[in-house]
Chain A
Amino acid sequence: MLFNKVLIANRGEIAVRIIHACRTLGISTVTVYSTADKDAVHTMMGDEAYEIGPPSPLESYLCIEKIIEVAKKSGADAIHPGYGFLAENPNFASACAANKIAFIGPSAEAILLMGNKVESRKKMVSVGVPLIPGMKDEGKSLAEFVKAADEAGYPVLIKAAAGGGGKGMRVVNEPADLETAVEGAKREAKSAFGDDTVYLEKYIVDPRHIEFQVMADSHGNVVHVFERECSIQRRHQKIVEETPSTAVTDELRIEMGKAAVEVTKAADYVGAGTIEFLLDKSGKFYFLEMNTRIQVEHPVTEEVTGVDLVAEQIRIASGYELSDHFKNLTQRGHSIECRIYAEDASNNFMPSIGKILLYREPTGPGVRVDSGVRQGSEVGIDYDPIMAKLVVWGEDRETACARMIKALKEYKILGLRHSVKYLSDIIAHPKFVSGETYTDFIERNFSDWDDGASELLETAVGAAAIAGANYRPAGNQSGAGDASVFDPWRETGNWQIGESVK
């Protein structure tokens, strides 16, 4: 039996996405909201909505007690955590279980295992999934470094344990340079972090971030739903994702997919999960981590396979076996997602706050928008600044790119800064077009990005002046509205539904 009522412990676009899945399955929805989200899209969209506290996430969306209390009060039999907030919190999964509420996600044990880097890596080694070769601990003597470098294979990377920002980091291409590099990295680490601990790992040339979607039911069925490439990142956060990856061949897909399924089985995993790998230029791949939640970028997988991953998560949590679609999966065409953030791409991706004064989503064949905002929405300081995800599908990558650029140009969000033009320039960039998408794509190609405003400045100024000359603020009219706007209600005369007025 499917659940009757699902509580959605999240906000924004993912809360809206989960409501869509519940409605498709005929399940009623309960939303929770902080006082900052009183008028938010997700708050207004669910069948029931409960306020759970002030804007600060710790006192609302992260407050386990309050959410469990609403679930009991509203009679919800399951909770979907979305992504972020409580999605990968084992205590929340346990609290749900203790209160006999189904948690739409994996067990607390699986979350705990995958949340622990050391334990999860040990587990991966035991099932033969490759990790980035290198030292387990700090290197003490030069001999240790030489041995580790030989085992990992050159080039290798010397990294500061306290590291960050490239300080205390050295790439070594051949054995002769190892000693100098270790010494240099230690000195740099000492002066930058006050700690000269360095270690060695294999240097991955032109790495790509490739992840595999997996789905597992409680009856022992595990499948992978192909890959997503998420190499385009800024501030270590993905902004463009696509599937299939231009770097994954049919053979590699089989091999990586098999590894992803192994990882899932080894973790006794149930639900939707994502196995993240780093893929190097030669086609070797290394396990990074497993995300035990639905991912932001799940729609691209849905677009090329035709499945509804969120609905399937709910079915699996209700105890169903994987649907038949998952037994004969194929990839059809190509899909790309762009994350639409409220941020200033020309100023170090500084988040932008404000009210969306005008909002218009793109349309047309192969265009999908998963959004959590509308015209009039306020984007505040309390939460992640993602407003929406623009997803396109095309019969091939070229078509998908063309549709994405077209859709981005049509996307109108006025009132705050956003990344739409930046994203459009990424998709149009020759290196993106040719599929040379490595994790340093943004640093390599967009460090001196120019938004192209100078060419269009006069057109923009002209439009601003036209708006100023014609602008009539709402509610500032005397009499019965603006006579220049056609209003059909003024044309109808006296009438009454169903009969004529006597």
Chain B
Amino acid sequence: MNYEFKYKDEVVSVDLTDGKIASFNDGEKQLQFEFRSEGRIYLRDGNMAKEVCAVIDGDKTFVDIDGLLFEFAVPSEDASGSGEGGLASDPSRLFAPMPGKIVKLLVEIGDTVSDKLQVVIVEAMKMENIVIAKASGTVKAINFAEGDQCDIETPLIELELADD
């Protein structure tokens, strides 16, 4: 059976046989697992066994290997459509990482922004978090004022993307 997982921007495909052998690249690489519980999955190689944890929550899967955390999403059919994956991957709309208070707006309507430029500072959990532009463009809308509470569904800033 084939599974696909999205890690950051990369989609990784894996074939599973007998519910325990994972093959990559048409069988070029194979890994054997033993499932006991979500908290105890063992990577097996002969007598060697290594514990891995994996938990599924809705369309997210979290995996831990020795403290290193992976967060996988199910690849969406239509990347530009609605849903979290779609919103996050659209660089013309910048969202707060979590609900919080707008501390500072670092751009104004009409400003040109470049990739990685800091645009908004949002305070949540006692800390200031910087929202960074993911592409170059011109600020076309700012939907909050300094001091406003923001959610994660409304974009903070909307950009007119620059043509490459």
Chains A and B come from one and the same complex: yes
Flag if A461 contacts B64 (CB, 8 Å): no
Kindly report which residue of chain A lies nearest to residue B33, judged by CB atoms. Answer: A466
Interfacial chain A residues near B19, Cβ < 8 Å? 466, 469-470
Q: How far is the CA of A383 from the CA of B125 in the complex (A)?
A: 5
Kindly report which residue of chain B lies nearest to residue A347, judged by CB atoms. Answer: B97
Q: Does B90 contact A (CB under 8 A)?
A: no
Interfacial chain A residues near B16, Cβ < 8 Å? 465-466, 469
Known: A350-B129, A358-B55. A465 touches B3 (CB 8 A): yes
Q: Which of A235, A381, A451, A467 contacts B61 (CB 8 A)?
A: A467
Q: How far is the CA of A424 from the CA of B64 in the complex (A)?
A: 14
Q: Does A357 contact B (CB under 8 A)?
A: yes
Flag if B56 contacts A408 (CB, 8 Å): no
Kindly report which residue of chain B lies nearest to residue A345, judged by CB atoms. Answer: B69
Q: How far is the CA of A462 from the CA of B44 in the complex (A)?
A: 12
Flag if B7 contacts A457 (CB, 8 Å): yes
Contact flags (1/0) for A6-22 with B, using CB distance below 8 Å? 00000000000000000
Interfacial chain B residues near A383, Cβ < 8 Å? 125-126
Q: How far is the CA of A385 from the CA of B124 in the complex (A)?
A: 10
Q: Does A324 contact B (CB under 8 A)?
A: no
Q: Could you write out 28 A-B pairs with CB less than 8 Å apart?
A: A235-B127, A351-B98, A357-B55, A357-B62, A382-B125, A384-B125, A412-B64, A414-B53, A418-B69, A421-B68, A424-B67, A451-B68, A452-B68, A456-B70, A458-B14, A461-B5, A461-B12, A461-B24, A461-B72, A463-B33, A463-B54, A464-B5, A465-B3, A466-B20, A466-B33, A467-B61, A469-B3, A470-B35
Known: A382-B125, A466-B20. A461 touches B14 (CB 8 A): yes
Contact flags (1/0) for B22-58 with A, using CB distance below 8 Å? 1010000101010100110101000000001111110
Q: How far is the CA of A413 from the CA of B54 in the complex (A)?
A: 10
Q: Does B160 contact A (CB under 8 A)?
A: no
Residue of A235, A413, A469 contacting most chain B CB atoms (<10 Å): A469
Flag if B64 contacts A414 (CB, 8 Å): yes
Q: Which of B54, B68, B100, B125 contacts A467 (CB 8 A)?
A: B54
Q: Does A116 contact B (CB under 8 A)?
A: no
Q: Does A415 contact B (CB under 8 A)?
A: yes
Contact flags (1/0) for A381-421 with B, using CB distance below 8 Å? 11111000000000000000000000011011111011011
Flag if A464 contacts B39 (CB, 8 Å): no
| Residue ranges of B at the interface with A (Cβ–Cβ < 8 Å) | 1, 3, 5, 7, 12, 14, 16, 19-20, 22, 24, 29, 31, 33, 35, 38-39, 41, 43, 52-57, 61-72, 97-100, 124-127, 129-130
Task: Please classify the interface of chain B as helix (H, G, I), strand (E, B), loop, or mixed, using the class held by over half of its residues.
Answer: strand
Known: A421-B67, A459-B31. A468 touches B38 (CB 8 A): no
Interfacial chain B residues near A355, Cβ < 8 Å? 57
Q: Which of B56, B65, B100 contacts A471 (CB 8 A)?
A: B56
Flag if B41 contacts A469 (CB, 8 Å): no
Q: How far is the CA of A357 from the CA of B65 in the complex (A)?
A: 16
Q: Does A353 contact B (CB under 8 A)?
A: yes
Flag if A415 contacts B125 (CB, 8 Å): no
3 residue pairs, one from A and one from B, having the closest CB atoms: A462-B22, A467-B54, A420-B67
A340 to chain B, nearest CB (A): 10
The size class of the interface chain A forms with chain B is 35 or more
A266 to chain B, nearest CB (A): 32
Kindly report which residue of chain B lies nearest to residue A355, judged by CB atoms. Answer: B57
Q: Does A447 contact B (CB under 8 A)?
A: no
Kindly report which residue of chain B lies nearest to residue A418, judged by CB atoms. Answer: B69
Q: How far is the CA of A486 from the CA of B59 in the complex (A)?
A: 29
Q: How far is the CA of A275 from the CA of B2 in the complex (A)?
A: 59
Flag if B68 contacts A458 (CB, 8 Å): no
Q: How far is the CA of A383 from the CA of B129 in the complex (A)?
A: 14
A367 to chain B, nearest CB (A): 14
Known: A457-B7, A466-B20, A467-B56. A385 touches B125 (CB 8 A): yes
Q: How far is the CA of A451 from the CA of B67 in the complex (A)?
A: 10
A110 to chain B, nearest CB (A): 25
Q: Which of B31, B43, B124 contacts A351 (CB 8 A)?
A: B124
A301 to chain B, nearest CB (A): 25
Interfacial chain B residues near A452, Cβ < 8 Å? 68
Flag if B22 contacts A408 (CB, 8 Å): no
Kindly report which residue of chain A lies nearest to residue B10, judged by CB atoms. Answer: A457
Flag if A463 contacts B67 (CB, 8 Å): no
Q: How far is the CA of A452 from the CA of B70 in the complex (A)?
A: 11
Known: A421-B68, A459-B52, A469-B16. A357 touches B35 (CB 8 A): no
